[in-house]
Structures are given as C-alpha cells and as structure tokens.
C-alpha cells in the first residue's frame, strides 16, 4: 500500500513504531502549507526556513515522546506550533 493513501494518524502511529518513511510522508504532505504560513507571518525567507526547521524538530520530539494528543488534526496541530513559534 502506498504511503500517500494512509491517514495522518496511521502515519503517526507507524512513525512512532520506527517507520521513518511515514514521517517523511507527513512532512511532504504539509511542508508547503506550514512553510508558507510561517513566511507570511515573518516575511523573511531565512527566518521562515529557520522557524520551519524548529517547528519540525518540535513535532518530531513530541511524536517520539508519544505526547501527541490524537484528535485527528495533525495539520492544525502543526500550524499551531508554527504560529506559536513565530
């Protein structure tokens, strides 16, 4: 089965079980939206790139520690982290 057809929550569960490809799929799904929202907030490419990296480090840390609260809304959660970091 293609990773593209797997729901976000299932990808998170796979990632927490050690499947790094599952996280890559999540990143690929949402990186453009998250980066764009950060860029529109800070209006500077370098700053946006730095914040984007920090956001995904925070997401990885949270997922690895199993502290992600599954409400079926990964994108909204990730965007809230991005907004708070801006």
- Phi/psi-derived region of residue 32, left when phi > 0, alpha when psi is between -120 and 50, beta in every other case: alpha
Tell whether pTM > 0.85: yes
> Bigger pLDDT: 2 or 60?
60
Residue 1, pLDDT > 70, answer: no
57: CATH: 1.10.1740.10
Show the domain range for 66. 3-85
Number of domains in the chain: 1
**Tens-digit pLDDT profile for residues 36-59:** 999 999 999 999 999 999 999 999
Residues whose CB falls within 8 Å of the CB of residue 68, separated by 6 or more in sequence, listed in order: 12, 62, 77
């Amino acid at each position: 089965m293609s990773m593209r057809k797997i729901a976000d929550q299932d990808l998170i569960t796979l990632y927490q079980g050690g499947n790094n490809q599952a996280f890559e799929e999540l990143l690929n799904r949402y990186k453009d939206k998250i980066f764009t929202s950060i860029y529109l907030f800070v209006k500077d490419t370098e700053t946006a790139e730095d914040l984007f990296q920090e956001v995904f480090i925070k997401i990885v840390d949270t997922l690895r520690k199993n502290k992600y609260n599954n409400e079926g809304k990964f994108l909204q959660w990730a965007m809230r982290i991005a907004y708070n970091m801006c």
